[in-house]
Structure 1
C-alpha cells in the first residue's frame, strides 16, 4: 500500500504527456491546503466558469485542477495572453541583433506605408507598439479584404507616439509582422526552437492573418501547464534548466511599468503596462486574454498562477486570487497536513462545469422531426433521439449537413460539434429535461472559452430553440427559432 502522501500527489498528478514541472505537496512549499481549497470552492461556486487552474510555488506545482470536460492534455485558446509570447519573440529577435525596439515601424513595411507619412507615424517605434502607445486614437481594423499592415499604417496618428495609451491588438500584430520581416519566419516558427521546445511546450498552434503572419495579439493555443511554464520562465528571469532562454534585461523591461494606463487602486487594469504585460496589484504582473486566460506571476511570493476560463468578469477572478490564494502563500514550509491536502486533492479531482439539472422525463417528442423556416443560423430541421438510459442526441440539419450533439445524462459526452460561429471541433455535451416541456443542452467547446446552451421548449407541434453563449465579443443570445412538425 502506498503512503498517503504519495497517494495525494497521484491525485493531482498531470495527465498530459511530456509535462515536466515537478510536483509537491502544498505545505512543503509553504502553501496552505485549506486556503487553496477555499479558492477552489469559491471559484466553483461564484464564477461561471473556470476551466483550469494551476498553482506553482518555488518552481513546483502544488495544486492543479480542470473543470470537466476540460482536461490537462487539451490546448486552450489564449486570446490576448498571446501578446506576451509575441513580446518574447521581439525580445529574442532584439537579442540576436535582428531588430531593435528603437527601430521605426515604417522601416519594416516600406511597401505598405502611405505615400506621405505624417511626422507622428514616422516617429512611431517598435517600443511604442510594445507598450500600446502608438499615438493612434482608435485601433485599426483587421479586415480579410485588406492587408493588415497597410490598414494599420493608414490610420491617423493624432498623438505623439509614447504619450497616449490605447490597448491595441493591431499594434501587436505589427510586432509579429516585424518579427517575420526581420527573421524570415512566422512568430510561431521563430519561437519553436527558442522558447516552446526548451520549455517542453508541444504542438503550439497560432492563427495566421490573410497575409500568412502569426496574428500576434491573439490566436495562440497551448495547455494550462504550458502557461505555467511560461510564467515560471519569467519568474526565473528568463532562465530555464540552467540556460538563459530570454535575456534577463528583457524580462525586467517587459514586466516593468513602461506606461501609465489609469489610477484606480482597485483595478488590475490601472496599474501600468509593460511590453505586452500588465502590471497588477501586490507587486505582480500578468499576461491575460479575453474571457479569463491568465498567466499571473508573483515575484515577491515566488509563485505563478495559470488559469483558463470562459468568464465575463475578469476582475472577479483576479480578486479571488488576491483574496484567497495570496494569503495561502507563506514564507516558510508548513507542517504536513495530509488530511487537508487529501481534501484539496479530492476537490480538485471532482471539479466540473455546471451541468443542466434534470426535473423529469420530459414529453414524448423523440423521433419527431421539426422543420424551420429560413434563418441566419441555417438550421433547417431538428430531431431528438434517445440513447442509452436518459441520454438524448440532438440531430440537426444545418447548412445542408447533419450535426449530432450527443448529450450525456451524467457526466459529459465527448465528440466533435459545430454550431453557429464555432466550426466543427472537439466538444463535450450534457443535457437534461430542466422542465416538463424544456430540454437543455450544454455544449463546451473544450479548446476554447466558449460554451453554448441550447434550450428547446416543446409546445404542441412546435419547438422553440433558444441558443445562448456564455461569452462573446458581441451579443451572446442568438434569435430564437421556432420549428414545426
Structure 2
C-alpha cells in the first residue's frame, strides 16, 4: 500500500457550501438500488467534503479502474501532441509502419489519431477479440486487417483496441513506456506515487484497462481536469487539450443489447463520456471519475455495481444539495456514517478446531479455480488456513478481515461455519471482485464462484499475481 500524503485539501460540507444531507441521501439511494460501492470521494470547490471506504476496502489501497484507464491514455496522447511528437491527423500506418499488414485496406490506411480517440474507425463492433484471434502476436495488425462497416469518422462504436493502439503510438513517438511517460509527466508532479498497471504478455501496459489508483488519486485527476490541466502553479496538461478531450465529438449509439443508459447516450469525446451534467471517465462495474464544471464538483467512485445507477444517484440526490449549506450537526452525522461503512461479514460461527477437505466443482461459468482442485480448511491463528492443492494458501478470519498475498496481489478474506458448510468471501482487494468459497464438509464438495466475472477471465490464480499479465482479451 502507498503512503497517505494528501493530494487534496479537506473541508466540512457546510464550510464548502454543499448539503451533507444530500450526500447521505446519495449513499442511501445507492444502498436501496443494491450498488456495492467500495469507495466514494466528493470534491467541491477544490476540497474533499466527503470520503468513505466500505471495509475491507481502504484509503491507501489502489483499485482497478478498468476502462477509466482510457481517460489517462487520452491525457498521454495530449501530452505527446503538445510536445510536437504526434498530431490528430497522424495515421496509424505512418507511426507504426512495422505493424501494417501487407493487404491493409484503403480505409485502414486512413485511420488517424482522431479516429482512435473518438472510437470512430468504422468497425461494426468492439474489434478487440476478433483482431486478437486474427493476429495473435500483433493486435495493431489485426485491427487494421478487420473489415470496416462505416466510413471513418462517421460512427462511434466502443472499441477497446483503439486505445491499445493509441498507447503504442505514444510509446513509439516518446520512446517511453506509457506508465513511465505518465509517471514523469502527470503522476509524480501531482504527488501520486502509487500507480500500478496490468500488462499484456509482452510486458506493455494495456492502455485501455489495467490502471490501479487510489480513490483520492482518481479524484485528484478529476480536479486536474476541472482546473483545465493546472495543478498548483504548474500547467501539467495544456488547457486546450483538456477542453478538446472532454468535449463532445460524436453521437453515441445504443448499446448492443438495446438498453438505454442516459449518461452513455450524450456523446463521446476523446476517451471521455459526455454526461447529462459534465462528463466522466468510466470503467466497468462502476469505476467513475465524474466532473461537473457547472457545479465545481468532482466525484470519484469505485464499486462492483451498475454505473448508470451510480450516476443517477448523483444527479437525483447529490446535485440538488450543491450550493445548499447545511449545519455542523448534519456534517457530524455524515462523517460518522462514512466512518462506519463496511461490506457485510459472512455470518456464522467460528467452530474452533474444525477442519474440512473437499474437491472443487468447477462446472459453473463463474468458477474461479480448476475442476477437481483439492481444498483443505484447517484452524489457524483464530481463523483458518485454506489450502488450494498445490496452487496457494489463503488466510481467513472469523468476524474480521485477514490479508494474505501468496502470489503477489493481496486477498482479504473473512468466513464462518454455517452448519455443515464453511463459507468464506475472498476479496481480490485491488479489484472490484471477490470469490465466494463454499465447502460442504459432509458431501466433500466445494465451489469457488466469482461475485462478478473479471473481464480478464475467471482464473483466480492469474488475478492474484502482480502485475496481472495476459493477452489483450478484455471483453
Range with greater deviation from structure 2 (233-242 or 406-415):
406-415
Partner residue, 1:256: 247
Partner residue, 1:367: 355
- Mapped partners of 2:158, 2:68: distance in 1: 13
Matches within 5 A, 1:11-26: 16-26=3-13
1:48 CA drift (Å) = 4.4
Partner residue, 2:151: 160
Partner residue, 2:266: 271
- Mapped partners of 1:380, 1:310: distance in 2: 27
Deviations 1:112-147 (A, max 9, x none): 212132221122111000001011123133369412
Residue-pair matches, total: 445
1:157 CA drift (Å) = 2.3
1:49 CA drift (Å) = 1.4
Partner residue, 2:302: 308
Distance 1:458 1:131, change over 3 A: same
Distance 1:437 1:48, change over 3 A: farther
- Mapped partners of 1:369, 1:182: distance in 2: 55
Larger Rg: 1
Conserved 8 A contact 1:120-1:159 = no
- Mapped partners of 1:356, 1:111: distance in 2: 53
RMSD, aligned CA: 2.5
- Mapped partners of 1:392, 1:441: distance in 2: 10
Distance 1:368 1:198, change over 3 A: closer
1:393 CA drift (Å) = 3.3
- Mapped partners of 2:412, 2:83: distance in 1: 44
- Mapped partners of 1:474, 1:287: distance in 2: 18
Matches within 5 A, 1:216-295: 216-262=207-253, 267-282=262-277, 284-295=278-289
Partner residue, 2:117: 130
Unmatched segments (≥5 aa) in structure 1: 1-14, 418-422, 479-485
Residue of structure 1 aligned with 2:451, choices 470, 475, 480: 470
- Mapped partners of 1:258, 1:42: distance in 2: 32
- Mapped partners of 1:396, 1:48: distance in 2: 31
Q: Does 1:326 align with 2:319?
A: yes
Partner residue, 1:3: none
1:244 CA drift (Å) = 1.4
TM-score, normalised via structure 1 length: 0.85
- Mapped partners of 2:353, 2:33: distance in 1: 35
1:43 CA drift (Å) = 2.8
Partner residue, 2:341: 351
TM-score, normalised via structure 2 length: 0.87
Range with greater deviation from structure 2 (141-150 or 469-478):
469-478
Matches within 5 A, 1:80-229: 80-138=67-125, 139-141=127-129, 142=132, 145-229=136-220
Deviations 1:276-335 (A, max 9, x none): 0000112x1000111111100011110100011122x221111111122112211x6x25
1:68 CA drift (Å) = 0.7
Q: Does 1:383 align with 2:376?
A: yes
Distance 1:262 1:304, change over 3 A: same
Conserved 8 A contact 1:428-1:444 = yes
1:222 CA drift (Å) = 1.1
Partner residue, 2:466: none
Unmatched segments (≥5 aa) in structure 2: 364-368, 460-475
Conserved 8 A contact 2:245-2:270 = yes
Distance 1:220 1:184, change over 3 A: same
Deviations 1:415-434 (A, max 9, x none): 226xxxxx65212111123x
Distance 1:99 1:61, change over 3 A: same
- Mapped partners of 1:351, 1:476: distance in 2: 29
Residue of structure 1 aligned with 2:438, choices 443, 455, 462: 455
- Mapped partners of 1:197, 1:167: distance in 2: 30
Range with greater deviation from structure 2 (41-50 or 241-250):
41-50
Q: Does 1:396 align with 2:414?
A: no
- Mapped partners of 1:244, 1:157: distance in 2: 39
1:101 CA drift (Å) = 0.8
1:16 CA drift (Å) = 4.7
Partner residue, 2:473: none
Q: Secondary structure at the match of 1:268?
A: helix
Distance 1:361 1:105, change over 3 A: closer
1:243 CA drift (Å) = 1.8
Conserved 8 A contact 2:263-2:274 = yes
Distance 1:414 1:361, change over 3 A: closer
Conserved 8 A contact 1:16-1:72 = no
- Mapped partners of 2:361, 2:320: distance in 1: 57
